[in-house]
Structure 1
C-alpha cells in the first residue's frame, strides 16, 4: 500500500474513532494532588493542566472524571473510559494501553511515619513485623507484594491512610513525596508526621489511552505536542506554581505503580 494511502487510512480511522465517542475523549484519574485534584468545583494540578492544554492544541475535547483509582482501572478494562491520566507504565498493561514516549511528570515514593512512633527505613528488611499503609488498585512489585516480613493494609483515600498513621493503626505508609506533603498540609499534620528521606522508587507518569483504531496516531501527536509545550515559558510557570521539577524519563523499576 503506498505511503500516502496508509497515511490517509490512519487519519480516517482516527476520525471515526473520535466520532464514535461523540468527539470527546473520556479520561479518568484519581485525585492525586498536586498533579490533579479538584478545588471549589474546578479541576487543577500540574499534569491535568498540562494535558488539558495539549489536548486543546490538538483540537480534541475531553470529558474528565475523578474517581478512586481502582474504579478508574475497572472502567478502562470495561471500555467505559478511553484513557487514564497519571498512570505508570507496566508490562501487564501493554496489551490494553498505549503510552506516549513523553511522560507528564516524575514521582518519588517514600515512607511516612508518625513522630510518636518513628521507624527507620532503608530496605524491605527494615519492615519486619510492621504494617505498611498502601493504596487500593495500585500494583506493587512481587518483592513488596509477597514479602512475609511485613503486612500491607489498604485505605480508601490518602487522607484515610494518614489518619490511620496518626492514630497508630499502621506503622508506615508509602506514597509519592509531593502527594504526601500536600495531604499533610491539608490535614495540618506536618508537626506529627515525618517523611523518610529514603526514595523507595522513582517512576514516570503518563497519559495512556486504550488500544483502539487510530489511537496510535493520537498518542504520537500528544507526545510531540507535549514535548513542544515543555519547552515553553507557560510550562515553566506551571512547574513553579506546583513546586515540581521537570520530568525525566526513568526506567520502570518500582515497587509501586499506579
Structure 2
C-alpha cells in the first residue's frame, strides 16, 4: 500500500526484511529521543509487511506523529508472545511497542499515554440475504456456526454460548479465509476485529456482508514505552501529537485510506 500523500517530503530509506526507517531531518523536541524503534506483530491492516517494508494503518499514524515530534521512527516486526515477554523482562530488548490494551499488570512496567492509538472492537459480520432469517443480534445465531481466526480470544458472550451449546465455533488460519467461507455460505457469521473485518471485506471485494451492531466488546489500545526516566515525557509528547492529529483530521484521512466508507449495518 503506498505511503499517504499528505505526509511532508522525507528522505525514505529502503526497508530491509522486517524493518522500515523514516529519516526525519528536524530536531526532536527537547528531552525526547532523536530516534525510536517500535515493535508490533503483523496484523492486517494495522501492521503489514509488503515488498520488504513495513506499512499499515497504525504505522502511518505513528509515522505522522513522530514526524511532528521530530523523531526518526523505525518499525520492526516481532511475534506477539515474544514481544510481550521482552516488554516484561527487566533487561528486555524492546523499549517501544503497539498497540497494547491497558491492564494493571502492564502498567507496572510500561508507560501508557492518555490518548489511545486506536479503539479495538470485537464484532460479528454476517451475510445480508433475503432468503435467510435476519441476524441483528447475538441471540439470532442460535444453532449457527461462527468462524473465528485461530488463536482469537473469544469475548465472554461468545465463549459462554459455545460452552452452553447454543452455537459452535469453526477456526481457520486467516481472516480472509473466514470471510470467504462466509460469502460461500459455509459458515453463518464471522467474529473479528471490526477494522480487520471491514478491511478484509473491502480487499476481497465481497458483496452483501455487513457488520452486526452493537459490537461485542470494545477497548482502547496504545503505544507503550518501557518505564524509565524519560518515558513519561515521551508518552505525553505522543499524546499531544495524537490530539492534534484528531483535531486536524489526520486520523480520519489515514483511516479512510485503508477502509474507505464504513460498512453498512443491517
TM above 0.5, yes or no, is yes
Matched, 1:134 2:148: yes
Provide Cα deviations, 1:213-258, integer angstroms capped at 9, x if missing partner. Answer: 532332122112221233336555435534579xxxxxxxxxxxxx
Matched, 1:156 2:170: no
- The correspondence for 1:112, drawn from 121, 125, 128, is 125
- Structure 2 unaligned spans of 5+: 1-30, 262-266
**Corresponding residue number in structure 1 for 2:94:** 81
**Corresponding residue number in structure 2 for 1:54:** 65
CA distance in 1, matches of 2:255, 2:211: 24
CA distance in 1, matches of 2:81, 2:151: 4
> Is the CA contact (8 Å cut-off) linking 1:131 and 1:172 kept in structure 2?
yes
Q: Shift of the alpha carbon at 1:197?
A: 3.4
Q: Any idea what SS the aligned residue of 1:111 has?
A: strand
Answer 1 or 2: which has greater helix percent: 1
**Corresponding residue number in structure 1 for 2:210:** 195
Aligned length: 224
TM-score by length of 2: 0.64
> Is the CA contact (8 Å cut-off) linking 2:42 and 2:49 kept in structure 1?
no
Q: Shift of the alpha carbon at 1:140?
A: 4.1
Measured at CA, do residues 229 and 114 of structure 1 come closer, stay the same or move farther in structure 2, by a change above 3 Å? Answer: closer
> Is the CA contact (8 Å cut-off) linking 1:70 and 1:136 kept in structure 2?
no
- Written as runs of structure 1 = structure 2, the 5 A alignment for 1:2-17 is none
- Written as runs of structure 1 = structure 2, the 5 A alignment for 1:1-258 is 24-33=36-45, 35-66=46-77, 69=80, 72-77=83-88, 79-91=92-104, 93-114=106-127, 120-136=134-150, 138-147=152-161, 148=163, 149-166=166-183, 170-188=187-205, 190-191=206-207, 194-200=209-215, 201-232=217-248, 234-235=250-251, 237-243=253-259
RMSD value over aligned CA atoms?
A: 3.7
Provide Cα deviations, 1:24-51, integer angstroms capped at 9, x if missing partner. Answer: 4232133332x44344444333332121
Measured at CA, do residues 122 and 55 of structure 1 come closer, stay the same or move farther in structure 2, by a change above 3 Å? Answer: same
63-72 or 200-209: which moved more? Answer: 63-72
> Is the CA contact (8 Å cut-off) linking 1:69 and 1:136 kept in structure 2?
no
- Structure 1 unaligned spans of 5+: 1-13, 246-258
> Is the CA contact (8 Å cut-off) linking 2:112 and 2:225 kept in structure 1?
yes
CA distance in 2, matches of 1:52, 1:90: 26
CA distance in 1, matches of 2:259, 2:169: 30
Measured at CA, do residues 28 and 178 of structure 1 come closer, stay the same or move farther in structure 2, by a change above 3 Å? Answer: closer
Q: Which has the higher contact order (CA 8 A, sep 6+)?
A: 1
TM-score by length of 1: 0.65
